[in-house]
Structure 1
Amino acid sequence: MTSYTFTRELRLLTPAQFQAVFTNPVKASSAEITLLATPNTQEHPRVGLTVPKKQVKRAHDRNRVKRVIRESFRMHQHDLPSLDIVVLVRKGVMDLENPELHKLVDKLWRKLSRRFNG
């Protein structure tokens, strides 16, 4: 049975892991969110989130955005190739309701998968 957990192994944790993605990324973006990705040596994708205070002022709003993105990743992790992915959030994300945000992130996962799978 397929596991849909979001364990520590599925996260980018250290600054070095984030920096590796920023060096030579493949991008998938919209007006509100940008995904940067590079292949990794793991058997699974990993994700790191950046939701800056400058873009999303209130903590509960930042937490909401991160929660929706994490949930979307959790459900799509088996469809993604072995990538290290950094999610960058921009100011317009606050105008999106949860279902719209979820749909947007799902679309970006698919776009990123197509770029790596051909």
Structure 2
Amino acid sequence: MDSSSNGSTGEGSHDFARARRIVKTDEFSSVFRLRPAQKSAHFVLYTRPNQLPNARLGVVVAKRLAPRAVTRNTIKRVTRELFRTTALPAIDCVVRLSKAVNTKAGPATNAKLKVMLRLELVRLFEAQAKARR
């Protein structure tokens, strides 16, 4: 299924069809083999050029870094939303949570923490969009 059937355009489109996801283990591994493209306080972004007409995304949120399912799902949801709305070139991106987000002082459901994570992800994706133009 291509993105043109639902009225979306390829760059910065709002769909998240299977063609825009990294789902296979070997696809994740091939991106992980490369050095991290960028790091932020909580995330590491790995990238690799692909031969497809669009960018693809994979998200890795380890249970030991975010023990609550609601936290892991929130992180994945925010990451996918920002990926969909950022115009990226044809690259494979893997976003990996690298630092625990749950602490007694600041649980991950805290709105301030969500805003901080969103800002980190926006910076990572925008830097990639600028670097690959």
Q: TM-score range by the shorter chain?
A: 0.7 to 0.9
Identity over aligned pairs, percent = 32
Is 1:53 aligned to residue 63 of structure 2? yes
1:85 is displaced (CA, Å) by 0.6
| Distance (whole Å) between structure 2 residues aligned to residue 30 and residue 36 of structure 1 | 12
Name stretches of at least 5 consecutive residues in structure 1 with no aligned partner: none
| Distance (whole Å) between structure 1 residues aligned to residue 17 and residue 74 of structure 2 | 19
| Distance (whole Å) between structure 2 residues aligned to residue 98 and residue 38 of structure 1 | 27
**What is aligned with 1:33?**
43
- Please, which of 83, 87, 91 is the counterpart of residue 99 of structure 2? 91
Question: What amino acid is the match of 1:52?
Answer: A
Name stretches of at least 5 consecutive residues in structure 2 with no aligned partner: 1-7, 107-111
More helix by percentage: 1
Q: TM-score, normalised by structure 1?
A: 0.87
Q: Does the 8 Å CA contact 1:31/1:92 hold for their aligned counterparts?
A: no
Corresponding pairs, count: 115
Judge which range, 17-26 or 87-96, deviates more.
87-96
**What is aligned with 1:21?**
31
**What is aligned with 2:128?**
112
How large is the Cα RMSD of the aligned pairs?
1.7
- Please, which of 82, 85, 91 is the counterpart of residue 72 of structure 1? 82
| Distance (whole Å) between structure 2 residues aligned to residue 24 and residue 46 of structure 1 | 16
Q: Does the 8 Å CA contact 2:20/2:54 hold for their aligned counterparts?
A: yes
Q: Does the 8 Å CA contact 1:25/1:38 hold for their aligned counterparts?
A: no
Residues 86 and 75 (structure 1), Cα distance of their counterparts in 2 relative to 1, 3 Å cut = same
Task: Give CA-to-partner distance per residue, 1:30-65, whole Å, 9 cap, x none.
Answer: 121110000001010000000001111111111111
Q: TM-score, normalised by structure 2?
A: 0.78
| Distance (whole Å) between structure 2 residues aligned to residue 26 and residue 41 of structure 1 | 20
Is 1:9 aligned to residue 19 of structure 2? yes
Higher relative contact order (CA 8 A, sep 6+): 1
